[in-house]
């Protein structure tokens, strides 16, 4: 059987490249229950500038659930969720919803955003490093399919809500029952 090769020429990847590569975002393994659809408090772990398969710019938001906010959320402490927010004119409301929730502006993202060599945001306007910002995120359960049979959660459309300074704001939209 032929040996697999990865890349060619100047771009060939060696085992030493992989073994010595910088691990840019260490993650903890989460094997707990997935939260039910609803609004929870999350901690932003990272923001990363990315690109969609179609070549459009996007912001990749990695957050973990803060199980200390409500006693019944402790079960889900550390549960991760990833969101890919396209940064385009046609998705300006999604971008604005996220920025409002973290206390940033369009100018912060588009003109005052500093990234490292791996695309991670290290400074976002006057906020500085966005890692550690608390935000309410409304999530929903993913629909399982034959192709994707494993359950999961995803950020609901425009699902970001700002946390007040006291951390106790009620994120429930008017007329709705709290999901917690």
What residues does each domain of the chain span? 28-162
Q: What is the pTM of this model?
A: 0.76
18 pLDDT exceeds 80? no
* Cβ contact 152:89 at 8 Å: no
CA 60 – CA 43 distance, rounded (Å): 14
Q: What is the predicted pLDDT for the residue at 19?
A: 78
Lowest mean pLDDT among 8-22, 53-67, 135-149: 8-22
Query: What does the pLDDT average to over 111-131?
Result: 93
User: 95-107, pLDDT tens digit by residue?
Assistant: 999 999 999 999 9
Point out which residues pair with 44 in neighbouring strands. 63
Q: Name the pLDDT band for 16 (thresholds 50, 70, 90).
A: confident
Taking alpha carbons only, the member of 51, 57, 64 closest to residue 25 is 64
Alpha carbon distance, N-terminus to C-terminus of the chain: 56
Q: Encoding tokens for residue 9? A: 């020429």
Q: What percent of the chain has pLDDT over 70?
A: 79
């Amino acid at each position: 059987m032929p040996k697999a090769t990865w890349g060619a020429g100047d771009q060939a990847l060696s085992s030493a490249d992989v073994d010595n590569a910088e691990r840019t975002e260490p993650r903890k393994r989460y094997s707990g229950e997935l939260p039910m659809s609803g609004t929870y408090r999350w901690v932003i772990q990272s923001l990363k500038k990315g690109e969609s398969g179609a070549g459009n710019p996007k912001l990749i938001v990695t957050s973990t659930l803060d199980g200390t906010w409500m006693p019944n959320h402790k079960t889900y402490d550390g549960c991760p969720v990833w969101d890919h927010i396209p940064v385009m004119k046609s998705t300006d409301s999604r971008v604005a919803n996220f920025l409002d929730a973290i206390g940033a502006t369009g100018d912060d993202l588009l003109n005052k955003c500093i990234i490292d060599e791996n695309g991670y945001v290290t400074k976002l306007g006057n906020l500085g490093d966005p890692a550690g910002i608390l935000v309410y995120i409304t999530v929903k359960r993913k629909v399982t399919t034959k192709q994707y049979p494993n359950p999961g959660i995803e950020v609901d459309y425009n699902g970001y809500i700002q946390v007040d300074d006291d951390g106790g704001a009620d994120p429930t939209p008017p007329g709705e029952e709290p999901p917690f």
